[in-house]
Amino acid sequence: MISGKNVVCLASGWDYHPTSKHHIMRRLAERNHVVWVNWHASRRPRAHWADLRAIGARIAQIRRGPRRVSDGITVITPGQLPVPGSRLIRRLNAASVRRAIEKVLGRLEDRPVQVWSFAPDVAEVVGLLGEELVVYYCVDAFGEFPGYDRVLIERRERELLARSDVVITTSAPLCEAKRKLHPNVHLVQHGVDYARLSRAVTQDLPVPSELHGLPRPIIGYVGVVGEWVSLELLASLAKSRPDASIVMIGPMFTSRGPCAGLPNVHWLGEKDHAVLANYLRFFDVGLIPFKNVPLTHHANPIKLYEYLAAGTPVVSTRLPAVEAIPGSVWIADDAMGLVDCCDRALDHNDLEARKQRSKLMAAESWQARLEEISDIVSASLENRSQTATPETTSTSAEPSFASSV
């Protein structure tokens, strides 16, 4: 297991909806110190209320300075200008990030530094901290996100790949794509907080107040509601099953569209992950209603593992990372199929079926994933130590900007 390191994690906001980076870094922080850098320079802001609100939050975080969120994690938000197309601005951002990180590292025990990036466009920062290893942890096809300059972000990602020692990917399509660009790429699928979520089948958890009194069945969704979620499918399901309650948990990054005003669609907003099991215990079906687009083609939805760990039967649209499992996961190709799959899932919702379903995830914990990643990283570090020369060590300390635009 990785231990005794200062791990610099470059990722999107610490305060966002928890994803793989949060789960991995929390566990990595048990034996290391993590400096989480809120990276916010990947795209230009839009004239949109969500972006304006995010800018306000970023300014507040910058003013707040470094904060310890646990014994092993310090979160910082360096000043950065979101102008990714400018080489000058990127260099200024890198200098700002470097100063902020070094200030925190100067207060920590002097230990080897590793850089782990969940962001694809941080190449200018690589090599500035004297790090012993660079890990690119790729969880999405970033160029497919709304608002991103695809050509630019993919070029920036290639620059990061060229400076990374090891690449971790979370889906087979991502792994296949990155192996064309890097010699040391590994597939490590997402894990799950099994100990916490399996309580949904082992403990008599109370009914959350928002679910109390809702008509059953409760067909629910947990996660970010973005442009990749098919609200059209959800609306069709809600209209086809007016007796059911469609429950949406998570932050909204898009409008409610065709679901707006439907009386049996309930929007509960974001919930603390610590109480997620309470909600999933009363979900009769867990939904993954993603559109068939390049972004979702490369995705590996953590909610799949979370639903199953809680014993909840899953109905999903067809995705490479989601396979049908008899009695546990059903795949729908269209609106009528979604309704049919939900009906079939409801026939497998007794307590014994939920307990057996939960056991499928017993070996898929985030701790198990971190152990797998640790072996990969340790082997990569050993290989780098064996192949490093004074010349390569000295040149890696100062990144080249020749390929930047």
Q: Is 103 helix (H, G, I), strand (E, B) or coil?
A: helix
DSSP secondary structure of 222-290? ES-B-TTB-HHHHHHHHHH-TTSEEEEES-BSS--GGGTT-TTEEEEE---GGGHHHHHTT-SEEEE-B
Res 392: pLDDT = 44
**Burial (Cβ within 10 Å: 0-12, 13-18, ≥19) of residue 117:** buried
User: What CATH number is given for 6-191+366-396 in this structure?
Assistant: 3.40.50.2000
Helix (H) or strand (E) holding 30: none
**Angle between helical axes of 366-387 and 20-28 (0-180°, round to 10):** 70
Res 47: pLDDT = 61
pLDDT tens-digit map of 363-376: 999 999 999 999 99
pLDDT tens-digit map of 251-277: 998 999 999 999 999 999 999 999 999
Res 17: pLDDT = 80
Backbone CA torsion sign across 135, 139, 144, 148: negative
Q: Are 137 and 117 contacting, i.e. CB atoms less than 8 angstroms apart?
A: yes
Q: Are 349 and 284 contacting, i.e. CB atoms less than 8 angstroms apart?
A: yes
d(CA 348, CA 382): 48
At position 371, the amino acid (one-letter code) is: E
Q: Are 300 and 357 contacting, i.e. CB atoms less than 8 angstroms apart?
A: no
d(CA 291, CA 317): 8
Length of the chain: 405
d(CA 209, CA 132): 49
Question: Which regions of the chain carry the CATH code 3.40.50.2000?
Answer: 6-191+366-396, 194-359
**Angle between helical axes of 302-309 and 351-359 (0-180°, round to 10):** 130
Res 84: pLDDT = 87
Closest CA relative to residue 317, chosen from 309, 336, 302: 336
- Owner of token pair 């990061």: 160
Instruction: Extract the residue ranges of the chain whose pLDDT is less than 50.
Output: 390-405
CATH topology of domain 194-359: Rossmann fold (3.40.50)
Q: Are 327 and 353 contacting, i.e. CB atoms less than 8 angstroms apart?
A: yes
| pTM exceeds 0.85, yes or no | yes
Buried/exposed 307-342: b ≥16 CB within 10 Å, e otherwise:
bbbbbbbbbbbbbebbeeeeebbbbbeebebbbebb
Residue 135's alpha-carbon distances to 19, 114, 116, 165, 402, in angstroms, are 17, 8, 5, 6, 22
Q: Cβ neighbours of residue 325 under 8 Å, at least 6 residues apart?
A: 360
Q: Is the peptide bond before 84 cis (omega within 30 degrees of 0)?
A: no
